[in-house]
Amino acid sequence: MGAGHHHQLYLPGVSVVHRLPPQCKLLAVLAFAIVVVATPRERFSAFAAYAVLLAAVAVAARVPAAHIVRRMAIEIPFVLFAFLIPVIGLGERTTVLGLSLSVPGLWAAWNILAKATLGVVASILLAATTEPRVILVGAQRLRLPSLLVQIAMFMLRYMDVIVDEMRRMRVARESRGFEARDVRHIPVLARSAGALFIRSYERGERVHLAMLSRGYTGEMPIIHDISASVRQWGTALALPAAALAIWGLPW
């Protein structure tokens, strides 16, 4: 409790992008990512054009640039890795700012950076315009394996409950004078983690009973029948279609 009423990634709104059915947006992002990944790394202008496309979507969805930049932090580990490649890479070398770098390494780093960034921004836009639970409804509509969708749904629902339980266990430890300071305290924390696992497992069993009591048969019933019109599919798929057109241009 106490947390905001929306997940951090989601920006409530009523833009064209917000109103598109989730399955259209999911498929559009996936197709866009495939086109981006399939683009040869030498085509700098194609990547620039893809970035312009995403900027256009952000404007249409009224997602501020600051929101996107902040969420891009998730990419940092990949960026660090990408920066390492030219340093440790083999083959022909070149000197940049007094640093000897591998040329194939530089290409590989650029390849990772450009494609990952475009993919991440596209995902951020999806998450900013679609509530997490609605994304899962979309996944259900796209006939993703029902078991995976259900697992994701329960994670979404019980994350806060489990975090809360974790917090209570920490309070209980600390109120009896325990404070994790060094490695010798790891066994205590490990036992707490074990207890948390068992509690969650037991909760899982009780939830399953509750589901059975209301007629659960293994499949999630369709509650939101969000069907997409041809026009909505057209709007959503405009993004990957434009990317594909850029990809197909003679360079």
Site residues (vs another protein, CB under 8 A): 1, 5, 132-133, 136, 153-154, 156-158, 160-161, 203, 206-207, 209-217, 221-225
Least distance between another protein and beta carbon 134 (Å): 9
Please say whether the beta carbons of 9 and 216 come within 8 A.
Answer: no
Of 201, 123, 121, 106, nearest in space to 162 by CA: 201
Which amino acid is present at 148?
A: L
Considering beta carbons, is residue 179 or 225 the nearer one to another protein? 225
Least distance between another protein and beta carbon 146 (Å): 14
Least distance between another protein and beta carbon 230 (Å): 21
d(CA 221, CA 211): 11
Considering beta carbons, is residue 42 or 164 the nearer one to another protein? 164
Which amino acid is present at 209?
A: L
d(CA 13, CA 17): 9
According to DSSP, residue 3 is labeled S
Least distance between another protein and beta carbon 158 (Å): 8
Considering beta carbons, is residue 107 or 158 the nearer one to another protein? 158
DSSP 108-150: HHHHHHHHHHHHHHHHHHHHHHS-HHHHHHHHHHTT--HHHHH
Considering beta carbons, is residue 41 or 133 the nearer one to another protein? 133
Please say whether the beta carbons of 180 and 188 come within 8 A.
Answer: yes
HSE (CB half, 13 Å, CA atoms) of 221?
7
Considering beta carbons, is residue 91 or 218 the nearer one to another protein? 218
Of 135, 118, 114, 105, nearest in space to 224 by CA: 135
State the angle between helix axes of 146-174 and 132-141 in degrees (0 to 180), rounded to the nearest 10.
150
Least distance between another protein and beta carbon 139 (Å): 13
Considering beta carbons, is residue 91 or 221 the nearer one to another protein? 221
d(CA 87, CA 72): 24
Least distance between another protein and beta carbon 161 (Å): 6
Considering beta carbons, is residue 1 or 230 the nearer one to another protein? 1
DSSP 83-111: HHHHHH--SSEEEETTEEEEHHHHHHHHH
Least distance between another protein and beta carbon 199 (Å): 12
